[in-house]
Amino acid sequence: MTQTLEVRFKGTRKGYFTWPDSGEPIHVGDPVIVEVERGRDLGRVTAVGEVAAKKCAGSCSGCALGDEVTDGNAPAPLKPVLRRATSDDLKIHTEIRRSDEDARLKVIQRVRGHELIMKVSDTEWQWDRNKLTIYFTAEKRVDFRALVRDLASTFRTRIELRQIGVRDEAARLSGVGRCGREYCRQ
């Protein structure tokens, strides 16, 4: 028997994974290493068991917990958590989070060099440094193909540019809304 876990990463990113019941119990707040698209990442458990299963089933239909089947294929099962994060993993994670700001400043310089009209909001290294995700806002479409090639040669890793809305930007940066509360992350 396995439990469903909700794991959150930097910003508003989250994912759902499984944890075997036979091992040590896992708790909210525990850091874990998980397999993500093209690599590994470190996140923190934010929901366990029934709560996580309900959140997962309510937010998507593309996994084993969702009721709908898309494209006539069976839904893909959730990936298992690889392991709990060690103290060394947490040190690496802290160093990576510190280097996020340096990467953001370098990206801003490259954007200016290419004379693109876009605002770089945030950057996020994947834990194993296989991918650098760059979050940006722009009013119009931006042709950033040359920028991606330039950034790939600079950082020597896979580059993903993700356009977000201004509300998403505020939520990523922990903004406060008109109501006086922190912006919703959903």
Summarize pLDDT for 99-125 with one digit per residue, the tens.
Answer: 999 999 999 999 999 999 999 998 999
User: Does any domain span residue 184?
Assistant: no
Within this chain, do residues 11 and 81 fall inside the same structural domain, yes or no? yes
User: Does any domain span residue 67?
Assistant: yes
User: Does any domain span residue 90?
Assistant: no
Assign residue 150 the CATH number of its domain.
3.30.300
Within this chain, do residues 59 and 109 fall inside the same structural domain, yes or no? no
Domain boundary among 85, 114, 143: 85
Asked if pLDDT for residue 147 goes beyond 80, the answer is yes
Within this chain, do residues 120 and 73 fall inside the same structural domain, yes or no? no
The pLDDT score that the predictor gives to residue 174 is 63
Contacts of 131 (CB under 8 A, 6+ apart): 37, 38, 39, 125, 157, 158, 159, 160
Within this chain, do residues 43 and 14 fall inside the same structural domain, yes or no? yes
Within this chain, do residues 74 and 102 fall inside the same structural domain, yes or no? no
Within this chain, do residues 105 and 163 fall inside the same structural domain, yes or no? yes
Domain boundary among 85, 118, 138: 85
Question: Which of 55-69, 81-95, 165-179 is the most confident on average?
Answer: 81-95
Domain boundary among 64, 85, 106: 85
User: Does any domain span residue 91?
Assistant: no
Place 49 in a pLDDT band, splitting at 50, 70 and 90.
confident
CA 109, CA 184: separation in Å to the nearest integer?
A: 31
Domain count, the chain: 2
User: Does any domain span residue 64?
Assistant: yes
Within this chain, do residues 81 and 111 fall inside the same structural domain, yes or no? no
User: Does any domain span residue 155?
Assistant: yes
What would the DSSP string read from start to end of 47-105?
EETHHHHHHHHHH-SSBTTSS---TTSPPBPPEEEEEE--HHHHHHHHHHHHHHHHHHH
The pLDDT score that the predictor gives to residue 63 is 54
Contact 60, 15 (CB under 8 A): no
Within this chain, do residues 102 and 80 fall inside the same structural domain, yes or no? no
Within this chain, do residues 72 and 21 fall inside the same structural domain, yes or no? yes
pTM above 0.85, yes or no: no
User: Does any domain span residue 182?
Assistant: no
Domain range for 17: 2-85
Asked if pLDDT for residue 10 goes beyond 90, the answer is no
